[in-house]
Structures are given as structure tokens and as C-alpha cells.
Amino acid sequence: MSKKENNTPRLLEKYKKEIVPAIIEKFGVNIMEIPKLDKISISMGIGNAKDDPKDLQNALEDIRTITGQQPVVTKAKKAISNFKIRQGDPVGCFVTLRKEIMYEFFDRLISTAIPRIKDFSGLSDKSFDGRGNYSFGILEHTVFPEIKYENVDKIRGMNITINTTAETDEVAYEFLKLFGFPFKKRQPVSTEKN
């Protein structure tokens, strides 16, 4: 066995061996229409980055620790006087994951981080964008086990967007569910009249 085969992420193996056949069987699509994970984007807003550069540095370090990739600082596109923000001020950071590193992050997200969310009862299936991409927010970045709680200066929220090549939200929903994505149970539609 070659070294490259040995280091294939667990979810990528699952995709090839289990998910592809399941999608073909369920939707009757050909091999070229099978959805794939395209990229995962993680962003973190830092409201006082302009006034407190240390806060920005800590956020960059946290997102780097979680993803294993260097984040990019986002800057304000226009001035907003109510928030005392000038054009070009740092307002957050983001990172885009692709290929193996994306599958490794996705695995940690659904198997370790999401189950650690307090009072978690599943993610909404209403957060699709109409083109097969799913976005959701996490209120506390400390759900990731890579973050040592004693080193945290403050709790930060983050937004995560999972981009797929699925044509419709329904296909994307089934596709993510096959990976083990923790959606809330769909309520059966009641036809009874009260």
C-alpha cells in the first residue's frame, strides 16, 4: 500500500465507498452528476479589531489552531459611522479549506465539535441557499477540542459554509446526511384538521 493511500481522510474513503453508490441508487444520477464537497469556509467576526490588535491576533491564532491553515484578515469595504468603522479597518478573518484538509476538518466538525455544543438538538435543514450550499453558525469556538479552554481570552462565534456541487437543496440535504451531518429530525406533515 502506498503512503498516499494510507493517509486518505476517513470521510473521503466513506464518500468513495458508501456515499457515491447510495446517491446513484437514491437519485438515479450518472457518475458525472454525483455531488461532491467543493470547499468549506470558516469566518470569524472581530468587532473591536481596530481598537484591540491583540484581539485580532488571538482570533487569527484560534482559527489557525482549529483549521490548520493560515487565515486571511477581512477589512471593511466601506465606512460605517454608527459603528465607528472606516474603510479598510480589520473586521474579521476567514479561511477556505479544500481537498484532504477540508475532509479532515469536516470529520472533526461532525464527530467531535458539533456534539459538544451545549443543549444541541440538531441543525436546521432550512439553512440551504437554494444552490446546494449549507451555512450555520457556532456561538462558541471552544467546542473544538484543539482549543485549550485555559488559554482562551474570550469566547468567539464563527460561521461555517459547506459548499457542495449538488444541483438542488434536497440532493445536498441527502448528501450531507449520508456523511452523518446532524440535522434535526424532519417533522412529518400532518393532514388532520383540528
* Within a domain: 138: yes
* Cα atoms found within 13 Å of the Cα of residue 110, Cβ hemisphere only: 17
* Within a domain: 70: no
Per-residue three-class SS string for 11-61: HHHHHHHHHHHHHHHHHCCCHHHCCCEEEEEEEEECCCCCCCHHHHHHHHH
Domain of 124 in residue numbering reads as 15-47+94-179
* Within a domain: 58: no
- In angstroms, the Cα distances linking 169 to 14, 17, 24, 185 are 21, 23, 17, 16
Identify how many contiguous H helices and E strands the chain contains and give both numbers.
6, 5
pLDDT of residue 83: 61
* Within a domain: 61: no
At 191 the three-state DSSP class reads: coil
* Within a domain: 55: no
- Does the predicted TM-score (pTM) go above 0.85? no
Q: Which DSSP category does 189 fall into?
A: P
| Residue 39 cell numbers, joined | 470547499
* Cα atoms found within 13 Å of the Cα of residue 88, Cβ hemisphere only: 0
As for how many domains the chain has, the answer is 1
- Average pLDDT per run of 10 along the chain, which is 194 residues long? 59 83 79 84 76 75 83 73 65 84 86 78 79 84 76 80 85 83 65 49
Q: Return the CATH number at 135.
A: 3.30.1440.10
pLDDT of residue 139: 83
pLDDT of residue 8: 75
* Within a domain: 158: yes
* Within a domain: 5: no
* Within a domain: 3: no
